[in-house]
Structure 1
Amino acid sequence: MMIRPAELAAIKAGTLDLAFRRWAKPRVVVGTRMRTGVGVIEVTSLDQVSVSSLRADDARRAGAPSLGALKKALSARSEDPAWRIGLAYAGPDPREALRAAVPDADEIATITARLDRLDAASSYGAWTRETLDLIDLNPTVRAPDLAARVGRETADFKKDVRKLKELGLTESLAIGYLLSPRGEAVVDTGLPAPRERTPREIGTPLPRNIGAPATRALREVGVTTLEQVVDHSAADLAAMHGVGPIAISRLREALAERGSRLADDQA
């Protein structure tokens, strides 16, 4: 179930708790939990409805500008039933805490065994350590470039990186990846001595949903965390090649979630 970034932010804030979709059959059930950019979103209810029965309160709770706008959005694929989906914020993505948890010797043995099983099940061959090492030595490098370095198709490479992410070993950035502290500990276990790495940026990473062009533009002026964005105005950002209105809007949303604003929004 796709949910737009602004809607996700509103669900987390508690100002939006409904969504409406045209589906031939339900694609979620009550209790479904979806990991998103703002954390875990849970499906709290699911009902088939007639569009004619919808009211202004339904539109408000779904974040639609008006009842008419909601009905117009549901006019497409009118041969499929309309569904009202209740949604609620269910907390942060548990992988965030997992990434920060440095494993002890027993945990590392368990993770190592899991990596061995992933290698054994792959038609590509042993890939887990190769991929962890590749990301460790090439942080923030685009997935297609990383895949090319090991002669792999980008889609297959990204699919495997997601398996490492599920184990809390990697972090996805707007451009490329980074090993988590947990991933670094696993890699270092297989080395004669811990690898020297560039210190991590202190702060909140730039939102992934601003897009690669905006991320590159911000990096070029030394802005790599959300906390650094507050020193810039919307006009400053718009003047950067690659930072468009959508990216600025999403930066505003990310800042608002943390009680911050752009420089020209602070007056």
Structure 2
Amino acid sequence: MLFRREVLEGIAGGRIDRVFRVWAEPRVRAGSTQRTWAGIIVVDSVTPVTPEEITEEDAVRSGFEDRAALLTALSKSTKQGGYHRVMLHLGGPDPRSELAANTDLTDRELADLTTALDTVDARSRRGPWTRRILRLIEEHPGLRAQDLAERLDRDKLPFKADVRRLKALGLTESLETGYRLSPRGEALMTYLRSSPE
């Protein structure tokens, strides 16, 4: 599921505990989780609802001013299907966020990260790419994934998959638009610049 920034802020702050979606079939199920910049979102339940079953409380607890505003937003969806109420909560921080914030890296940890990048590059069918993408993100924080991918003559979706691999190492962070290096990523790039390739 995609979440607007204000919705994630509301979930993180405890003001929002449900969202509504138009789906032919539910895209998530109770117990599933999703990583976001705000933390791990946990789905508590997914229930099909009719417009009549949507309450004022539903509207307020999903970030809308009132029921009419929520129903208007749902009616504008271009997706086919029925309405679904998704109850959810913040399960805790994304472990990758804690990893990404760590800049107190030993020389051994920096060397291990470098080895991890080398391993990813060695397994790539198109040759080394990890440092190139890290440099690109460092030089263009907040640039759209499509624009970053075009600078490397890449398609957007495979490019985004590569960025997710770097994020799993704690080296990048997703922004509302584009990416930036995490503090950990910045520490690694400083280390790489001071070390012979």
The answer to whether the superposition gives a TM-score over 0.5 is yes
Alignment correspondent of 1:244: none
CA distance in 1, matches of 2:33, 2:24: 21
**Residue in 1 aligned with 2:99?**
98
Is residue 179 of structure 2 the alignment partner of residue 164 of structure 1? no
Number of residue equivalences: 192
Can you list the C-alpha shifts for 1:8-55, whole angstroms capped at 9, x where unaligned? 222222122111112111111223322334333221221222322232
How do residues 208-219 of structure 1 correspond to structure 2 at under 5 angstroms? none
**Does residue 39 of structure 2 align to residue 44 of structure 1?**
no
TM-score normalised by length of structure 2: 0.73
Shift of 1:177: 5.1
* 5+ long unaligned stretches in structure 1: 195-267
Residues 174, 32 of structure 1: CA spacing in aligned structure 2 closer, same or farther, 3 A cutoff? closer
Assess, with a 3 A threshold, how the Cα gap between structure 1 residues 148 and 18 changes in structure 2: closer, same or farther. closer
TM-score, L = length of structure 1: 0.57
User: Which amino acid letter does the alignment assign opposite residue 124 of structure 1?
Assistant: R
Query: Equivalents in 1 of 2:127, 2:100: separation in Å?
Result: 25
- CA separation in 2, counterparts of 1:175 and 1:21? 22
Return the match for 2:130 from 128, 136, 156: 128
Distance 1:192 1:36, change over 3 A: closer
> Could you tell me whether the CA contact under 8 Å between 2:121 and 2:127 is conserved in 1?
yes
CA contact (8 A) 1:51 1:74 kept: no
SS at match of 1:125: coil
- Gapped runs of 5+ residues in structure 2? none
Residue 177 to residue 13, structure 1, CA distance change in 2 (3 Å): closer
Contact 2:23-2:79 at 8 Å conserved across structures = no
- In the alignment, the residues of structure 2 paired with residue 40 and residue 192 of structure 1 have an alpha-carbon distance, to the nearest angstrom, of 35
Aligned match of 1:222: none
- Superposed, 1:18-57 pairs within 5 Å as 18-57=18-57
Residue type at the aligned position of 2:153: R
Secondary structure, in 3 states, of the residue corresponding to 2:89? strand
CA contact (8 A) 1:33 1:43 kept: yes
Q: Deviations over 1:121-164 (max 9, x none)?
A: 4332111133334555x364846776566x43262444423321
Q: Contact (CA 8 Å) 2:170, 2:184: kept in 1 or not?
A: yes
Partners of 2:116 and 2:91 in 1: how far apart? 28
Please say if 1:5 is aligned against 2:40. Answer: no
- Classify 1:141/1:15 alpha carbon distance in 2 versus 1 (closer, same or farther; 3 Å): closer
CA distance in 1, matches of 2:37, 2:64: 21
Aligned to 1:63: 63
Q: Determine if contact 1:39/1:92 at 8 Å carries over to the other structure.
A: yes
Rg comparison, structure with higher value: 1
What percentage of aligned pairs have identical amino acids? 43
Q: Distance in 1 between matches of 2:122 and 2:92?
A: 35
- Partners of 1:22 and 1:163 in 2: CA distance: 31
Question: In 2 relative to 1, CA 4–121 (structure 1 residues): closer, same or farther, beyond 3 Å?
Answer: same
Q: Distance in 1 between matches of 2:161 and 2:175?
A: 15
Q: Relative contact order (alpha carbons < 8 A, sep ≥ 6): 1 or 2 greater?
A: 2
Q: Is the Cα–Cα contact under 8 Å of residues 5 and 176 in structure 2 kept in the other structure?
A: no
Equivalent pair of 2:142/2:175 in contact (CA under 8 Å): no
Shift of 1:70: 3.0
Which residue of structure 2 lines up, in the alignment, with residue 238 of structure 1? none
Name the amino acid aligned to 1:13. Answer: G
Taking a change above 3 Å as real, the CA distance of residues 108 and 9 of structure 1, as seen in their structure-2 partners, is same
Indicate the residue corresponding to 1:84 in structure 2.
85
